[in-house]
Amino acid sequence: MKKFWESLNARERTYVMMLGVFAALLGLFFAGRSFARYMNDLSERSDSAERDTLQIENLGRQYQLLQAMKTGDSQQLDNMLSSIETLLKNIGLRDKVGSLTPTDTVVQEKYLKREVKVSIKESAANQVLDFVRQIEQSTQTLYKVESLSYRPVLKKPGIYDFNIQISGFQRKNDGK
């Protein structure tokens, strides 16, 4: 190799060195491109796993809700109002609650649907969204947020009035 290098004139040596630098840069380019593709694939797989996990959690909650409807787990709805009040107190929204109205409705003569309508006055959105998130992600409770509406409070930017409807089901106990 040394003999070959010495047999080249200065111009040929420059070309060989430029060819070596070009080959090294080309190798770095393809290695970086491969690494970027790998990182993108890894990110997509991570996002897919996260979506699958959320879907499994939602299916688990739906299964628990159906089991409660089937077996008549009445304790869940009996504690619903106090559980909502505790959540509101923990988040710091209890003093902003305008009304907390429970309503029971018979569904198909076998089930009882309890709805609690929560009216929150003049609150920041992040607190209310935290409240909704805790209800929806809770594995201890078998009720969910059915609707959420809001309207901005005039002359108070970033402050809203919220109406939230939370509901749950249970099998009706007719003494049977």
pLDDT on residue 94: 86
Digit-coded pLDDT (tens) for 123-138: 888 889 998 988 888 7
Digit-coded pLDDT (tens) for 15-67: 999 999 999 999 999 999 999 999 999 999 999 999 999 888 888 877 776 76
pLDDT on residue 175: 46
CA distance 17 to 85: 76
Phi-psi region of 122 (alpha: psi -120 to 50; beta: other; left: phi over 0): left
Instruction: For the chain, give the percent of residues with pLDDT over 90.
Output: 31
Q: Any idea where the domains of the chain sit in the sequence? A: 2-68, 73-171
CB burial readout 151-166, b (16+ within 10 A) else e: eeeeeeeeebbbebbb
* Mean pLDDT value across the chain: 84
Whether 75 has a pLDDT exceeding 60, the answer reads no
Is residue 135 within 8 Å of 83, Cβ to Cβ?
Answer: no
- For β-strands 111-124 and 97-107, DSSP reports them as antiparallel
Q: Which residues contact 96 (CB under 8 A, 6 or more apart)?
A: 120, 121, 122, 123
**pTM for the complete prediction?**
0.55
Class of domain 73-171: alpha beta
pLDDT on residue 134: 86
DSSP 3-state of 58:
helix
